[in-house]
Amino acid sequence: MSEPLTGGCLCGEIRYVVDAAVERLAACYCTDCQRMTSAAGSINAVVPASAFRLTKGKTKVFTKTADSGHALHRHFCGDCGSWIYNPMGGDPEQIVLKAGAFDRHEGMKIVLNLWTRSRPPWAPMDASLPTRETR
């Protein structure tokens, strides 16, 4: 693997490193992602929890039951509000990273659309990709 993937929040108070390759991304259009991003949804990478570590700062956590029925603990920067990650609902060995917080994006591509039944009609989506209306 090349150098580790790094990322962080908008204001720089939260920084992290991922010691795993990130190539595959999923676009999520659930209503929670829409509300958390104030956009059509979020673009995510799933990585082993053991490959992720914070290198600067401490996240705040907001917990809510997601559309899937799992309690999701969303970690974000308490200063600028950037959503950084959440443990994958139902699988604590995996975490979901928000791809917009990565420092670089080479070699990454969206390979799956999730929760498309909630997608706003104005939101762009690559319909040629595998799609799931729900989880």
CATH number at residue 37: 2.170.150.70
CB neighbours of residue 126 within 10 Å: 12
Per-residue confidence at 101, pLDDT binned at 50, 70, 90?
Answer: very high
Q: Residue 133 falls within a domain, yes or no?
A: no
Number of domains in the chain: 1
Residue 26: phi and psi, rounded to 5, are -125, 135
Instruction: List the structure tokens of 124.
Output: 């762009």
Average pLDDT over residues 106-111: 96
pLDDT tens per residue across span 6-37: 999 999 999 999 999 999 999 999 998 999 99
Q: Residue 126 falls within a domain, yes or no?
A: no
Q: Residue 130 falls within a domain, yes or no?
A: no
pLDDT at residue number 135: 64
Query: Domain of 88?
Result: 5-118
Q: Within 13 Å and on the Cβ side, how many CA atoms surround 14?
A: 22
Instruction: List the structure tokens of 111.
Output: 């390979």
- Whether this prediction's pTM lies above 0.85 is answered by yes
Which residue is listed with tokens 């705040």? 60
